[in-house]
Amino acid sequence: MTFDHVQHFIRKIAPLANLSAAEIKLLETPIHIHKAELTVNGKKYPAYRVQFNNSRGPYKGGIRFHPEVDEDEVKSLAFWMSLKTAVADIPLGGGKGGITVDPKSLSEKEMQELSRAYVRAFADHLGSKIDIPAPDVYTNGQIMAWMLDEYEKKVGHHDPGMITGKPLELGGSLVRDIATALGGVYVLEEAIKKLKLKGKSVVIQGFGNAGMNVAKLLSDRGFSIIAVSDSKGGIYAQQGLPVDEVVTIKEKTGSVQNYHSGKKISNEELLTLTCDILIPSALSSVITEKNADKINARIILELANGPTTPTADEILHRKKILVLPDILANAGGVTVSYFEWVQNRTNYYWTAQEVETRLKEKMVTAFHKVWDSFRDRQYDFRTATYIHALHKILTTEKIRGRI
């Protein structure tokens, strides 16, 4: 996803959302783009923190370590975070960070040094009331712990709410590990009620944090997981797969394809299997104009970010497939990050049950808010979700007098 796509998207949606020229300009302009060059063992790494919009609260968004990270990508991701926090109705804005690095080329010591260098470079722009990072691609709880430590050294006091996705010992939240999948399940359950869908067959692409957890949660709720996949390929069993056994095989051998029973299939075949619910939980742009016509699902739950291309989206809409878009479907992660921040700031920690109850309330409410605006069906559910988010941002911008 490039920033050209973001601008194209805003301009496409502008007439449907009745956006003025000033509103369009505001929506496509990030508030700050911070850049730095980090040095570790003599090597230099470009680093970014883009603060896109903070009209609804402090900037919020992950930090990505990846060789393809650049300013354009970080800017686009920061824009989508502004929409995601608006849809989830949490009092936070949108930001994103990244370092252009192949993390596999670094030792653990270098990784720690790079994480600390990132915080030293951007510390003045971070903080629990300013901008709150979190993990993203190739960053994790350990990296958040090093970053928190470096930040607290610099400011000279505790501020665990300056970053989320931390280990529990440093103020992380219970349920954060399964939050994206669980949030998706809550949204899916509401959509199923609306469509009065009786079938319960599920196909899942990707078997990592999002995919594996959604498989477990749905299987526990009586759904039949008929196919799953990872980067090596997939397995399929019409009668349903025993999810616990597949999880064990994945953990022991590294791939779901080593499960002894079921038919081996490719990731392309998996996407076109006949099922009730299809859950892309791996990469972006996997449902395209090439395969959208062959998709045989009633509902698509986008746990991955950006799995459907705009052209594919139009085909799916014509086929009357309900797409629950990423900024709603996978907002459970950032919602529990918000809960982590609340717990850090009040210094009072919730039980897993409390987190789950509050997550459910947030996700169900978010789904119905969008569904209600979608009822007249002039456009698809994704467009309704985007318009809802953009209007929320513009409302606070107007109340503040910024436009």
Residues making contact with ligand NAD (CB under 6 A): 180, 205-211, 229-231, 267, 281-283, 303-305, 330, 333
Q: Using the minimum distance from each CB to ligand NAD, give the nearer residue, 115 or 229.
A: 229
Tokens encoding 193: 């009620």
Closest-CB residue for ligand NAD?
Answer: 208
Tokens encoding 94: 């949108």
To ligand NAD, the closest distance from the beta carbon of 209 in angstroms equals 4
3-state SS class at 310: helix
Q: Using the minimum distance from each CB to ligand NAD, give the nearer residue, 325 or 333.
A: 333
Active-site residue identified among 96, 166, 250, 362: 96
Residue 264's beta-bridge partner residues? 235
Q: Using the minimum distance from each CB to ligand NAD, give the nearer residue, 119 or 329.
A: 329
To ligand NAD, the closest distance from the beta carbon of 156 in angstroms equals 31
To ligand NAD, the closest distance from the beta carbon of 84 in angstroms equals 8
Residue from 102, 131, 118, 149 nearest 47 by CA: 118
* Phi–psi pair at 274, nearest 5 degrees: -75, 125
Length of the chain in terms of residues written = 403
Q: Are 249 and 231 in contact (CB under 8 A)?
A: no
Dihedral sign from CA coordinates of 356, 96, 9, 306: negative
To ligand NAD, the closest distance from the beta carbon of 175 in angstroms equals 11
Query: Which residues, 6+ apart, have CB-to-CB distance to 268 below 8 Å?
Result: 291
To ligand NAD, the closest distance from the beta carbon of 216 in angstroms equals 13
- Which amino acid is located at 341 in the chain? W
Q: Using the minimum distance from each CB to ligand NAD, give the nearer residue, 251 or 376.
A: 251
To ligand NAD, the closest distance from the beta carbon of 200 in angstroms equals 22
Alpha-carbon span 80 to 192, nearest angstrom = 26
Tokens encoding 150: 């470096």
- Which amino acid is located at 63 in the chain? I
Q: Using the minimum distance from each CB to ligand NAD, give the nearer residue, 152 or 177.
A: 177
Residue 46's beta-bridge partner residues? 37
Q: Are 93 and 82 in contact (CB under 8 A)?
A: yes
Alpha-carbon span 3 to 5, nearest angstrom = 5
Q: Using the minimum distance from each CB to ligand NAD, give the nearer residue, 115 or 308.
A: 308
Structure-derived torsion over alpha carbons of residues 403, 20, 386, 317, reported in degrees to the nearest 10: 180
Query: Which residues, 6+ apart, have CB-to-CB distance to 134 below 8 Å?
Result: 60, 61, 62, 63, 144, 163, 164, 165, 334, 337
Active-site annotation holds for 96: yes
Alpha-carbon span 119 to 85, nearest angstrom = 23
Q: Using the minimum distance from each CB to ligand NAD, give the nearer residue, 40 or 212.
A: 212
Q: Which residues are catalytic?
A: 96
